[in-house]
Amino acid sequence: MEKPQSLADFLGTSDAEPAAPSQCLDALTVEDFCRGILSSREYRQSVLHRITLGILPPAVELRFYDYAVGKPVDRVEVKDTTVPVEQLTAADLEDRSLRLAEMARLMRRAEQFDEPLHSDSVH
């Protein structure tokens, strides 16, 4: 693993003179500029210092977990794979209506006796 560059080296200045950054920074993209800062020794020491003092914001700590073990899924896409009713055959429609009627009977009975409805459904 390569030793991180100092922030002064990255910015093209010396530690002794906080002069204007070198012209080579003008050619950097925003992403490269941010990566350079984040990978500098000074920034990493700053993070460790804030952890030690207990002043690292919780959001930053969460990002550490995200990068270390992977970020949890923010959303799950559910795709409807059912066949549209208009495309069903008469036999399919009849079968579906019989199953719906049976479910309605079970629901009425469960409501009447205040029983939980048992189903194979995951919903």
Burial of 50 (0-12, 13-18, 19+ CB in 10 A): middle
Question: Is residue 36 in some structural domain?
Answer: yes
**How many domains, the chain?**
2
**Among positive and negative, which fits the CA dihedral 34, 38, 41, 43?**
positive
In this structure, is residue 107 part of a structural domain?
yes
Check whether residue 61 and residue 97 sit in a common domain.
no
Tell whether 77 is covered by a domain.
no
The predicted structure's pLDDT at residue 37? 86
* CA separation for the pair 95, 90 (Å, rounded): 9
pLDDT number for residue 45 = 92
Judgement on whether residues 20 and 47 belong to the same structural domain of the protein: yes
How high is the pLDDT of residue 102? Answer: 95
Task: Give pLDDT, residue 87.
Answer: 92
Same domain, yes or no, for 92 and 44?
no
Q: What is the pLDDT of residue 119?
A: 56
pLDDT at 38: 87
- CA distances to 12, 21, 42 from 15, rounded to whole Å, are 10, 12, 11
Q: Are residues 15 and 57 in the same domain?
A: yes
Residue 76 lies in a domain: no
Q: Is there a domain that residue 75 lies in?
A: no
14 and 53 both lie in a single domain: yes
Domain that holds residue 27: 7-69
Same domain for 23 and 52, yes or no, is yes
Place of tokens 């919780």: 58
Per-residue confidence in pLDDT tens, the chain, 123 aa: 667 777 777 776 665 555 555 556 677 888 888 888 888 889 999 999 999 999 999 999 888 888 888 888 888 888 888 889 899 999 999 999 999 999 999 999 888 887 665 555 555
